[in-house]
């Protein structure tokens, strides 16, 4: 990653080739910025690569951010909006996002470079989509790599209540999970595949203490003892440690999540739920034991998710600052 600074310096020289200051159209397509801002994807990948090399957890946070953004108001960067007097409780302050969601500073850094090179051209929503893809690329040692269509608009509505309404919590059962995905035109295969993102990153103890004694669960006793040694009996806002979601390869994106799941070495009720039906259990087995299968399906599911409820010119914009709507 020593070349990152050189990459950024080089792409800054491409500023003279950036075309215009207009907003992207509402039809997303691969290579959308080839003429408008040819350095766009290079810039985002360089910034993400530098961040992930310092802290792999930031990459996990950005992948989670993409999911949390797209399931609420569509893929429109609404999750990035800061509180204002007019809207004191945006999505990012909702319990599903605060204080656990990470990576905002990486999006800010990428957007800052883009605004110097191609002002008012690249949407924050596209930055999230590119950054999630690039996080997966680096965390998987390039095994997950795919083309991401672009041309999204940024939204202006961001409500804590909608984060609670649309983001499936870790205690959901399979029926609830399937329904929440179906509401976003995502199917059971997408659910099982995207759950595999739990192969990276950490979780607060409060997200899974419902599966620790004295509560009944089918968690592997060895993992139960490990978690009990790290988590307080009653986590609260001031005492809520984090633990790795994947105890085998915590900093690498791979299919170990599925072998962990089969061995009952997973944290959440929503993870364990994937084995409660024959259909989803079969998909778990495929992802666990067919080499390369999960990585290909994950790439496809991420592209599908990144097309949820996109904004158009009528209800979107290209934010200059990802944290605030344009004036």
Q: Which residues are annotated as a binding site for Ca(2+)?
A: 69, 72, 74, 76, 78, 91, 199, 246, 249, 254
Q: Which residues are annotated as a binding site?
A: 69, 72, 74, 76, 78, 91, 168, 198-199, 246, 249, 254
243 - beta bridge partners?
203
DSSP letter, residue 157: -
Instruction: For residues 80 and 88, give the distance between their C-alpha atoms in angstroms, rounded to a whole number.
Output: 13
The residues near 257 (Cβ < 8 Å, ≥ 6 apart) are 195, 196, 198, 199, 245, 246, 266
Q: Which residues are annotated as a binding site for substrate?
A: 168
DSSP letter, residue 150: B
The residue from 68, 143, 256, 323 that is catalytic is: 68
Helix (H, G, I), strand (E, B) or coil at 236: strand
Instruction: Give the tokens for residue 33.
Output: 């910025």
Residue 45 burial by Cβ neighbours in a 10 Å radius (0-12, 13-18, 19+): buried
Is 204 in the active site? no
Residue 288: phi, psi to the nearest 5? -75, -35
Q: Which residues are annotated as a binding site for heme b?
A: 198
Peptide bond into 99 cis (omega under 30): yes
The residues assigned a catalytic role are 68
């Amino acid at each position: 990653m020593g070349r990152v600074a050189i990459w950024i310096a080089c792409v800054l020289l491409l500023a003279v080739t950036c075309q215009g200051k207009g907003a992207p159209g509402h039809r997303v397509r691969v290579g959308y910025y080839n003429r408008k801002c040819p350095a766009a994807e290079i810039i985002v990948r360089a910034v993400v690569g530098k961040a992930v090399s310092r802290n792999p957890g930031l990459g996990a946070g950005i992948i989670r951010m993409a999911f949390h953004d797209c399931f609420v108001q569509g893929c429109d960067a609404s999750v990035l909006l800061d509180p204002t007097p007019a809207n004191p409780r945006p999505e990012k302050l909702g319990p599903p996002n605060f204080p656990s969601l990470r990576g905002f500073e990486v999006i800010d850094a990428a957007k800052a470079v883009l605004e110097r090179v191609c002002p008012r051209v690249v949407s924050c929503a596209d930055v999230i989509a590119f950054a999630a893809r690039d996080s997966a690329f680096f965390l998987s040692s390039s095994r997950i790599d795919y083309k991401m269509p672009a041309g999204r608009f940024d939204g202006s509505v961001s409500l804590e209540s909608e984060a609670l309404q649309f983001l499936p919590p870790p205690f959901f059962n399979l029926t609830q999970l399937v329904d929440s995905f179906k509401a976003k035109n995502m199917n059971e295969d997408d659910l099982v595949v995207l759950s595999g993102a739990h192969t990276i990153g950490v979780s607060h103890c409060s997200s899974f203490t419902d599966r620790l004694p004295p509560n009944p669960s089918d968690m592997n006793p060895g993992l139960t003892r490990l978690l009990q040694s790290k988590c307080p009996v009653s986590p609260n806002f001031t005492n809520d440690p984090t633990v790795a979601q994947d105890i085998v390869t915590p900093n690498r994106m791979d299919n170990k999540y599925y072998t962990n799941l089969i061995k009952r070495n997973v944290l959440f009720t929503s993870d364990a739920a994937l084995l409660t039906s024959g259909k989803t259990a079969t998909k778990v087995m495929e992802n666990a034991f067919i080499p390369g299968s999960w990585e290909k399906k994950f790439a496809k599911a991420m592209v599908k998710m990144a097309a949820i409820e996109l904004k158009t010119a009528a209800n979107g914009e290209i934010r200059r600052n990802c944290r605030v709507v344009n004036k």
